[in-house]
Amino acid sequence: MAGSDRLEVDGALERLDAALSRLEAAVVRPRKDDGELHDLKRAHEAMRAKVGHALADLDGLLEEFGSHG
């Protein structure tokens, strides 16, 4: 293997090792506050409900316009 190829491989392996270290640290890192997670889940469910209602309204409007067209 040529010297420059070897340097590229070594650099790639170092970057991969650094990425794996970051992933490992993220897995081991303590989770965010459970209260914060609960708040995010509630906000997500509220957003899903709003979007669901908006889509239902749009479906109703499309049906109404379709029946008048």
pLDDT in tens, 26-58: 777 666 678 888 899 999 999 999 999 999 999
Residue predicted with more confidence, 49 or 66:
49
Q: Counting beta carbons within 10 angstroms of the beta carbon of residue 45, is it exposed (0 to 12), middle (13 to 18) or buried (19 or more)?
A: exposed
Please check whether residue 31 is in contact with residue 37, taking contact to mean a CB–CB distance below 8 angstroms: yes
The confidence score (pLDDT) of residue 35 equals 85
The confidence score (pLDDT) of residue 69 equals 60
User: How many residues are recorded in the chain?
Assistant: 69
Residue 1's contacts (CB-CB under 8 Å, 6 or more residues apart) are 9
The confidence score (pLDDT) of residue 3 equals 72
Cα(51)–Cα(49) distance, integer angstroms:
5
Domain residue spans of the chain: 1-30, 33-69
Percent of the chain with pLDDT over 70: 90
